Amino acid sequence: MPPYNAPSWKNLVESLTDDAEFGPPAQKDRLAAVEQSLGVPLPLALREFLLETDGLKADYGSGVVWSAADIDERNQEFRGNSGFHSLYMPFNHLLFIGDDVGSDQFAFAIHADGIIHKNDIFRWEHESDARSWFASRLEQYLDQRLRKD
């Protein structure tokens, strides 16, 4: 469950959008495999989110929060794609977790010790390779991505 006494991640998302598509809960061993594969522990909020719903599609079908399998696969792709090395700054200090309909990606920052110490989420803009702060925690990220206006 999310911090701050929110009833659940799904309830939070449903309060923000009408087009949410949730995955089934992730298994703890799958999350451990992702952490092992990527060499970084998942932030607690992301872990709790994935244990409640293994991925969230909304905002015209974009992967607001990817499934554990997609987090693993896409991060491996970003880190291992040799074509990216000549186009972009390295991605090994980012843990990508989702995208938007414009193909920008969202990520937690991995510190030099291989740990995610802060809950901040950054946007990576693929056209310019810009990396900019987007939200101070997962709840704020969801709010900014999904809020009904």
| Residue pLDDT, tens place only, 25-79 | 999 999 999 999 999 999 999 999 999 999 999 988 999 999 999 999 999 998 9
User: Mean of the pLDDT values across residues 3-25?
Assistant: 86
| Domains, the chain, with CATH or none | 9-146 (3.40.1580.10)
What does the mean pLDDT of the chain come to?
92
| Coil, helix or strand at residue 62 | strand
Residue 133 burial (C-beta neighbours within 10 Å; 0-12, 13-18, 19+) = exposed
Tokens of 44: 């607690």
Neighbours of 29 (CB within 10 A): 8
* Residues whose CB falls within 8 Å of the CB of residue 135, separated by 6 or more in sequence, listed in order: 120, 121, 141, 143, 144
- Give me the mean pLDDT over the 3-28 stretch: 87
The residue ranking higher by pLDDT, 6 or 108, is 108
pLDDT of residue 2: 46
For residues 83-112, b (16+ Cβ closer than 10 Å) or e, as one string? eeeeeeeebebbbbbbbeeeebbbbbbbee
pLDDT digits (tens, 9 = 90+) for 100-144: 988 899 999 999 999 999 999 999 998 899 999 999 999 999 999
Dump strand ranges (E) for the chain.
Answer: 21-22, 56-58, 62-65, 94-99, 105-109, 121-125, 130-135
Coil, helix or strand at residue 105: strand
What's the whole-model pTM score? Answer: 0.91
